[in-house]
Chain A
Amino acid sequence: MIDRPIGYQATPDPVAIAELDPEQWLHMYEQMSKIRAFEEAANELYTSARMPGLTHLYIGEEAVAVGVCEALRQDDYITSTHRGHGHCLAKGATLDRMFAELLGKAAGYCRGKGGSMHIADQDTGNLGANAIVGGSAGIATGAALSIKMRGSDQVAVCFFGDGALGQGLFYESANMAQLWKLPVIYVCENNQYNEYTHNSETAAGTLTGRAEAFGIHTVSVDGQDVRAVYSVMSELVARARRGEGPAFLLCHTYRFHGHHVGDIDRSYYRSKEEEQWWREGRDPLKLLAGWLQEQGMEAAIFARIDEAVRREVEAAVQFALDAPYPDASEVDRHVYA
């Protein structure tokens, strides 16, 4: 493990924070709390051997999904990643059908045939999570081309991690997006690790430099600050709707858990001190709650939200546990439309 400083890799760009009603920020807290509780329950399902396969937890990165998706309309598109539960929930997916999909049940978003890494939900504009790292750069860009050809004012958002910048597809797609001024926003969740390898070992130059090389409008933001993410994203969305073309949003963030639920011993690739620095000082829920309290909101509100969300998650887990598996006849359905 190469010795490296703890904390943000680069200073985020200055952001003009949007003027929202406190209730709207509180709604974002609730969304983040829901993702946190969902992921904690998913982890519990895994460790208690009630979930098949494994899953990649989004805990620590909630402000990115929520800040981005709160700036979108329901008919805007997103493409997601293997670490995608947060994106799906933030875009409007429901807890019960999400858990049902994680457990491979017929009531899941994909009738149990996609699983944790492939949740798609047309009704909320979710074109699907993708288990090929960087695999959806083309899909999101194609959705943006479709938007432009149809004369719509939708936007397409491509979520991916810093690891995806090692894949060539992003560069081919981003080049065309800028050439043709497509309404696509590439949201790079820089959690610093390509699985078990820090990106200082995998990425030459700067991360933003990759998009800047195409002349794409590029912003970097503190991905732990949902107000900052939302504020920047709102501007990028408005810009895309005006036909001003693609953008690249680099979100500095951190995953509090391992690459996947089974990644328990992480000492060979990152230190406990580093994890502690992020968990204690840069937890997106704590940051937003702290700021809202400074604005005069009482602390008990957050506990009440967390508790309500926890009960909702419990009920959704129970729904999924009780739900039936798909009938055997499902196995060769939907191979062809």
Chain B
Amino acid sequence: MSMREPQFSLAVKNPGVREITFAEAVREAIAEEMRRDPRVFVIGEDVAEAGTVFKVLKGMVDEFGPQRIIDSPISEAGIAGIGVGAAMTGMRPIVDIMFGDFITLTMDQMVNQAAKTHYMSGGKLKVPMVLRTTMGATRRSAAQHSQSLHAWLSHVPGLKVVIPSTPYDAKGLMKAAIRDENPVAIFEDKMSYQLKGPVPTTEYVLPIGVADVKRTGEDVTIVATSSMVQVALKAAEILAESGISAEVVDPRSTAPLDKQTLIESAKKTSRAIVVDEGYQSYGVTAEIAAVIADGAFYYLDAPVKRLGAMDVPIPFSPPLEDLTVPTPAALVDLAKSLCGKV
């Protein structure tokens, strides 16, 4: 099947496709890889009987046992380091970090160890590990359980960073990450775990570093990541009612970044907005906007616009929290003004 094919019609067209949730897709991917490769294991807090706090790995310990679905102490730095060492010596660890906010505790192991080992050893040692964690606000979890810190790891050469937005992508990219020879961080939007989408029953793996056009359009490109893909698709529907045809492009990974697809889309539509749930300053939107401005400059009719999370610690109070995250309405307003149709 083509990666460009709109996914939401797949289930209808193809009897080998069923609708499953994002969480089920992640679980399927890990279980399939653990069946095919005895080197793969999971280590993290409450991953075994609890199946993680989000129940994503529910039931896996029954099939694979506590030797391969390992409940760890609350020691993020320790398990990240153990992942690096196990990966260097023949295993394929999946280190589960419950909340993306807690990657701060793994930083030395990810930034100074995992990312640099292959290069510093002159290409001899490899660190084929996956760091699985979450991102995304609006779960009323306040400032230390709501951040989207994927830009942090995207900044470091040697790491790959995957940010899937649909069940289909989540499964195919998780399988690719587990098979990758490099350290790969996967950020899953916790508000997307119940999102349903078509996923083939047959095996597939998606390449890391290839963007996906989630909706084709002519007037404006909306580059949207992870949680913001659904926001962008909603905005695109509303814009269509106003006669604005929006193209939604999902990079699916920030490192490596599929610059070519983003630039080609912006060249085609001549306008671009980048939306991402990380903090706006020094973040993913800034990098992608710069890539598009550089690569599509002569084709653009307007400056590239950005929408990220508001630069504030994420507040607990629901009406306040909702103000910090980009919404379809905000995206619609921005797209209309960019297209001169306010």
| A336 / chain B contacts, CB cutoff of 8 Å | 118, 158, 160, 181-182
| A128 / chain B contacts, CB cutoff of 8 Å | 117, 120-121, 125
What distance in Å separates the Cβ of A188 from its nearest Cβ neighbour in chain B? Answer: 17
| B126 / chain A contacts, CB cutoff of 8 Å | 337
Q: Is the CB of A142 within 8 A of B81?
A: yes
**Scoring A residues 263 to 274 as 1 if CB is less than 8 Å from chain B, else 0, what string do you get?**
000000000000
A109 to B125: give the CA distance in the assembly, Å: 11
Q: Is the CB of B182 within 8 A of A120?
A: no
| A77 / chain B contacts, CB cutoff of 8 Å | 89
Q: Residue B210 at the A interface, CB < 8 A?
A: no
Question: Out of A139, A144, A168, which one reaches B113, CB within 8 Å?
Answer: A139
What distance in Å separates the Cβ of A165 from its nearest Cβ neighbour in chain B? Answer: 15
Q: Is the CB of A142 within 8 A of B87?
A: yes
Q: Which B residues between 103 and 145 are near A, CB-CB below 8 angstroms?
A: 108-109, 112-113, 117-126, 128
Closest chain A residue, CB of each to CB of B181: A337
Q: Which B residues between 143 and 185 are near A, CB-CB below 8 angstroms?
A: 157-158, 160, 181-182
Q: Is the CB of A150 within 8 A of B73?
A: no
| A334 / chain B contacts, CB cutoff of 8 Å | 118-119, 122-123
Q: Residue B77 at the A interface, CB < 8 A?
A: yes
Closest chain B residue, CB of each to CB of A179: B73
The A-B contact count (CB < 8 A) is 148
Closest chain B residue, CB of each to CB of A137: B81
Q: Is the CB of B89 within 8 A of A127?
A: yes
Q: Residue B78 at the A interface, CB < 8 A?
A: yes
| B113 / chain A contacts, CB cutoff of 8 Å | 130, 132, 135-136, 138-139
Q: Residue A42 at the B interface, CB < 8 A?
A: no
Q: Residue B67 at the A interface, CB < 8 A?
A: yes
Which one of A29-37, A50-58, A169-177, A313-321 contacts B?
A169-177
Known: A135-B108, A179-B73. A120 touches B121 (CB 8 A): yes
Question: Out of B78, B87, B88, B158, which one reaches A175, CB within 8 Å?
Answer: B78
What distance in Å separates the Cβ of B31 from its nearest Cβ neighbour in chain A? Answer: 18
Q: Is the CB of B122 within 8 A of A135?
A: no
What distance in Å separates the Cβ of A116 from its nearest Cβ neighbour in chain B? Answer: 12
Q: Residue B193 at the A interface, CB < 8 A?
A: no
- List 8 other contacts, CB 8 Å, given A127-B85, A138-B113, A333-B123: A114-B120, A135-B109, A141-B81, A142-B86, A169-B78, A172-B81, A173-B78, A335-B158
Can you report 16 A-B residue pairs in the complex whose CB atoms are below 8 A from each other?
A114-B122, A121-B124, A127-B88, A128-B120, A132-B108, A136-B81, A136-B113, A139-B84, A141-B78, A142-B85, A142-B87, A145-B91, A147-B89, A173-B78, A179-B73, A334-B119
Give 8 nearest A-B pairs by CB, closest first. Answer: A138-B81, A142-B85, A172-B78, A111-B122, A139-B85, A172-B75, A142-B82, A110-B122
